[in-house]
Structure 1
Amino acid sequence: MTVKVAVTGFGGRMGRSLAEALTQAEAAGTAKLSAAIVRPGSSLTGADAGEVAGLGRNGVAIVDSLEKADFDVLIDFTAPAATLSNAAYCAANQKAIVIGTTGFAADEKTQMLQAADRVPLCFASNFSTGVNLCFNLLETAARVLGDDADIEIVEAHHRHKVDAPSGTALSMGEVIADTLERDLAKVAVYGREGQTGARERETIGFATVRGGDVVGEHTVSFLADGERVEITHKASSRLAFSRGAVRAAVWLIGRNAGHYDMRDVLGLK
């Protein structure tokens, strides 16, 4: 069975990367791009999705609403407001959904995840295989080193990224905090300036870099007296995320309604 996948936000960088990943998946017989969706009024409406993505004509005309799309699974890497609407549509129409959108407020995330009561939903801050492997490595490092080390997370992304820290950095912090039975909301430090005083051991620090065309880099440091352990992931292409999202879309077919993440897809839990 070749899974029919719709991509929303097709005019953006991730939309086009997902088109490339789906072209590769179609060649392998696992999934194909069945619909490319942009916002109403977009000048791309009606254009050939393959040509827009720089992949050559593929016969998929770009549309401006989910109602005009034929798909088994929707992949959404857009913005919180759009994703909330798209998740509600999928829930009402029994369509599985893969969500890579970041920057949700707490109440928005809760609302978005309500769709998982009715359909299979895979939500992750990062869909790359390497990052999700890092989550498991962070759990191990936190168990072994966490109470004896200062923990700092540094992330870097391109100049166009609008949320900070990145969703991946926050997920890394959550993995560590949960392992150490700490409340990230209470121990996270998102910036330091001036006379901040001595560092408190239980805090988890975050630092953000924005610039250039950096796809995504994350380093977690466990700094103890006399030694330091660093776990780093560097993405050099958005295809690392796109291929993971397509893998998740295929994996969702036949699953029960529920909230899954990429570690479920990879069998890392």
Structure 2
Amino acid sequence: MTDTPINVLLFGAGGRMGRHLFRIISSEGHRCLEVEARQDPDVCGALDEHLQQASMVIDFSSPEGTTLLLERLLVRPVPCVIGTTGLSASHQKTIDSLAERVPLICASNFSVGLNLLLSLTAQAAGALAPESFDVEIVEAHHRHKKDAPSGSAQVLVASVQTGRASSAGSASSAGSTRKPDPVLFHGPGMTDGRPTGSIGVAAVRGGDVVGEHTVFFLGDGERIELSHRATDRVIFANGAWRAAIWLLEQRPGRYTMKDVLGL
């Protein structure tokens, strides 16, 4: 925790996450420079002005807003936490370029528990043979969430693939490669069976669900379920602020919440 007050550019300040972050940051004596991506009449001008004063940027805006922010950060690099979901391959490429100049974290979920779930999922996937255990990932969110499947569900898919690849690599000869596991996005009208080793993903939208993710490892005669349920969005804001403070002492590079948490 930094004892010296800092200026934090909070992009997406009017959203749910933005409001939580404003309360947390202000309560610790720091100053929030607020920009609202959808309502500010001059978003670009506000970003340009506040970046001159900011020691840290936290972005929970929109893919379009993140595009505007990244364009400016390439001109005036500032340590950055990006929590916007639904980013494209082009976004990721720009983020990689920016990480050569400043420390940053781009994550789909800042919950401590969810990031532990990622590690546990990789560990289980490495221990359970894909020929014997089918993997299903089910995520649920509130009715207003626009992207599906969630960013966290996609990272869980990557965790399964990482765990399996690590297990296959340790058991195979050097230089051998393993084909990526096919990913099945379940939806209405899906009638085909599942290929061996595939990873199923299903999304549920409704009500006021903050965020739930369950990974099923389904075998004959047994199954394993790994779940995380968020009941209050403040956990994400707390995690994002924890990441921001941690970044202030890091060298340029692209980091993950696993780095922040030491997982």
TM bin, normalised by shorter chain, reads 0.7 to 0.9
Which of residues 68, 90, 94 is equivalent to 2:49? 68
Q: Which moved more, 1:110-119 or 1:195-204?
A: 195-204
Counterparts of 1:218 and 1:180, CA distance in 2:
20
Are residues 150 and 159 of structure 1, via their aligned partners in 2, closer, same or farther at CA, if it must alter by over 3 Å? same
Superposed CA RMSD in Å reads 2.3
Q: Deviations over 1:6-57 (max 9, x none)?
A: 2111111111111122244x06xxxx243111237538x9xxxxxxxxxxxx
**Residue pairs, 1:227-266, within 5 angstroms:** 227-266=222-261
Contact 1:84–1:112 under 8 Å retained in 2: no
Change (3 A) 1:209 1:263: same
| Match for residue 21 of structure 1 among 24, 35, 38 | 24
CA pair 93-194 structure 1, distance change in 2 beyond 3 A: closer
* TM-score of the pair, normalised by structure 1: 0.84
Match of 1:111 among 69, 86, 94: 94
1:80-105 alpha-carbon deviations (Å, 9 max, x no partner): 12112212322321310000111122
Matched, 1:188 2:183: yes
Structure 1 residue ranges without an equivalent (≥5): 46-61
CA distance in 1 between counterparts of 2:156 and 2:123 reads 12
Map residues 118-157 of structure 1 onto 2, 5 A cutoff.
118-147=101-130, 148-157=132-141
**TM-score, normalised with respect to structure 2:** 0.85
Aligned residue identity for 2:35: I
CA distance in 1, matches of 2:140, 2:122: 22
- Shift of the alpha carbon at 1:193? 4.7
User: Could you tell me whether the CA contact under 8 Å between 1:37 and 1:63 is conserved in 2?
Assistant: no
Number of the residue aligned with 2:197: 202
- Give the conservation status (yes or no) of the 8 Å contact 1:41–1:64: no
SS at 1:36's partner residue?
strand
- Cα distance in 1 for partners of 2:217, 2:229 equals 18
- 1:177 aligned counterpart, secondary structure: helix
Give the Cα–Cα distance (whole angstroms) in 2 for the partners of residues 249 and 86 of structure 1.
Answer: 17
| Letter paired with 1:17 | H
Q: Secondary structure at the match of 1:117?
A: coil
**Does the residue aligned with 2:110 lie in a helix, a strand or coil?**
coil
Q: How many residues align?
A: 245
The answer for the alignment partner of 1:8 in structure 2 is 11
Q: Which amino acid aligns with 2:7?
A: K
**Structure 2 residue matching 1:92: 3-state secondary structure:** coil
Could you tell me whether the CA contact under 8 Å between 1:90 and 1:96 is conserved in 2? Answer: no
Cα deviations by residue, 1:148-169 (Å, 9 ceiling, x for unpaired): 2100000011111111000000
The answer on whether the counterparts of 1:157 and 1:214 sit within 8 Å (CA) in structure 2 is yes
3-state SS, counterpart of residue 74 of structure 2: helix
- The share of aligned pairs that are identical, in percent, is 42
State the one-letter code of the partner of 1:256.
R
